Amino acid sequence: MLTLTFSGKDSSPAVSPDGKMIAFRSDRDGTRRIWLKQLAGGNEVVLSSGPDDYPRFSMDGSTIFFIRGQGAGLYRIPVLGGGERKVLEDVQSADLSPDGKKIAFVRWKPGESSLFTANVDGTGVELVTLIERIQIQFPRWSPDGKRIVAIRSWAGNAENQDAVLIVDLKTKEKRWFRSTWPTTAIWLSPNQIVYGVPRSATAIGISGVRGSGTVVLQNVDTQKIQKLFWFPSCGDVLDKFNRDTLLLQSTSTRENLRQIALTDSATTGRWFTRGNSTDRQPVYSPDGKSLLFSSFGSGKLDLMEITTETGALKRITEDAADDWDPAYTPDGKHILWSSNRDGHFEIWMANSDGSDSRRITNDGLDAENPAMTRDQHWIVYNSYNPEKLGDWKIHPDGTGAKQLVSGVTQWPEVSPDGKYVAYASYKQSLFDNTVDIPVVEVETGKRIPFEATADHGVKGPFEIASVAGRCRWMPDGKALAYISANEEGQLGIYLQDFIPGQDTISSRRSIGFAQDRNTESFGISPDGAFITVAELEILSSLVRVENVPGL
């Protein structure tokens, strides 16, 4: 592998048709823009005004097409610089046909996505196919111009689902291949595609970064898959220079836990974990003596527990599957979490030491984010199953499952008195830039007149703009703490009073921002004196992978 960029904030690579240049997204100057690198001389220049992403070269290499903002539209700009011009409205991602005359592009609406084609100047828009209940992304045109491949947009952590889509442009026939969170698929020939597949279905924190996995070659006619090489981590987009040389995004991440007194500055505090692991989702035990969290420290995703007084570390779960999303029951005798031990993510429960584990839910695809009411009568959780999208509640014995809220939601959190649930609500997808935090009653599902909005406009090489972790109630139930961005686009913790029926946005105040690091998740001690913050650091570079065996 040969590293091509070194700012640590580069992603979404595209190779020019002649292989002499690469375009990419970078926020090295504080704004997401399209940059251009001349491989021969090594010069790198900024091209677009931003915020922009997902560059693609025209077939003659003279123009770069890119997406402005969060799918606001498709733009184009000359490689030599000049004015930016809008080509199409409302575009999530796009690609140019092999003859350079057409554009394939994706649009999203709540509950569906559509694949279109248009002339290169934006005229002649035609619908190719409508996909219900699934959002697709990153269309790529086959070399013969007869087919388009796209991938399922990641939402939740479901494994081995219909994730790679092949569309025949003449017959409009759609075929799905099953995969787990694939990267962009690129064509090597009219019937071969290459893409990356992570070992784990779960992302590394809010970064949206895949952990280690394999780049594979797949025949779209026979569906035969051949493993090519292992990667330590990989972003969404990859491209190719030629038949045996690829361009991809390589990342280095770490996430550590730090306890901060609420009266102290966020630059001080006590580190519970340090190093290159990914330790996140901290939650205090009801007595405050322990801290449960998820960790990749063992090489796979498990639950770990720290004694808050001594810092002693104990492994709670040890399974080949992924265990994460931890929570204690109100009496502290049991723990809850999400695991794919049965092949898909469900809510599990065990004794506080991890023994006597049992599955609670039967979601069938992806149940996450468990929390229990104070009377231990209900477990509230979130479903990413397209047939069941929303927040649910279920009895600890697995009976009485009932939907509380429908729609694209995440991270339900039960109030200390067990009466309310606060959760993240998205207008149409998990990639929305602004997330509302409504509150509903546990018993009735009735929405309470209270509003909080987390603006996750983070500038960076990953889609942390739309994912910012679950909120937490203060122990007295009179305020909600949640993650949002400050004016510099950095993620930290805000606190807002909770008074049912009243607008309390004016009470919003900052309680935790770390220098040069983003807050990904956090827990609040039962006495309200401390918060433990999972702080995320990411470096991302573009690398050239040469002489790939099997290509």
Q: Which domains does the chain have, with CATH numbers?
A: 7-88 (2.40.10), 273-447+512-538 (2.120.10.30)
Average pLDDT score over residue span 495-512:
86
Highest mean pLDDT among 68-82, 268-282, 316-330: 316-330
Question: Tokens at residue 159, please?
Answer: 């494994």
Question: pLDDT: is 450 or 374 the higher one?
Answer: 374
d(CA 82, CA 273): 49
The identity of residue 84, as a single letter, is E
Global pTM reads: 0.82
- pLDDT at 466 (0 to 100): 36
Unique residue bearing structure tokens 């008074």: 499
Residue 41: enclosing H or E segment and its boundaries? none
Contact 148, 115 (CB under 8 A): yes
The CB density around residue 217, as the number of other CB atoms within 10 Å, is 17
What percent of the residues of the chain are helix, what percent strand, and what percent coil, each to the nearest 5? 0, 50, 45
d(CA 174, CA 168): 7
- pLDDT at 203 (0 to 100): 63
Question: pLDDT: is 82 or 454 the higher one?
Answer: 82
d(CA 423, CA 410): 6
- pLDDT at 457 (0 to 100): 40
- pLDDT at 20 (0 to 100): 96
- pLDDT at 450 (0 to 100): 72
Confidence of residue 459 (pLDDT cuts 50, 70, 90): very low
The CB density around residue 20, as the number of other CB atoms within 10 Å, is 13
Of 43-52, 128-137, 322-331, 509-518, give the lowest mean pLDDT range.
509-518
d(CA 123, CA 107): 16
Sign of dihedral through CA atoms 483, 90, 86, 168? positive
Alpha helices by DSSP H, listed for 280-417, are: none
Of 301-310, 447-456, 488-497, 526-535, give the lowest mean pLDDT range.
447-456
Sheet hosting strand 390-394, strand order edge to edge: 367-372, 379-383, 390-394, 402-406
Unique residue bearing structure tokens 């479903």: 383
- pLDDT at 130 (0 to 100): 96
Burial class from Cβ neighbours inside 10 Å (0-12, 13-18, 19+) for residue 28 reads: middle
Unique residue bearing structure tokens 């309390």: 504
465: pLDDT strictly greater than 70 = no
428: pLDDT strictly greater than 70 = no
The CB density around residue 311, as the number of other CB atoms within 10 Å, is 12
Please choose, from the candidates 152, 139, 148, the residue with its C-alpha nearest in 3D space to the C-alpha of residue 168.
148
Question: pLDDT: is 109 or 379 the higher one?
Answer: 379
CA-to-CA separations, 231 to 150, 277, 378, 479, in angstroms, rounded: 21, 17, 41, 43
Please choose, from the candidates 181, 206, 550, 143, the residue with its C-alpha nearest in 3D space to the C-alpha of residue 366.
181
- Distance from the Cα of residue 225 to its chain's centroid: 26
Question: pLDDT: is 229 or 206 the higher one?
Answer: 229
Question: pLDDT: is 217 or 513 the higher one?
Answer: 217
Highest mean pLDDT among 199-208, 228-237, 295-304, 324-333: 324-333
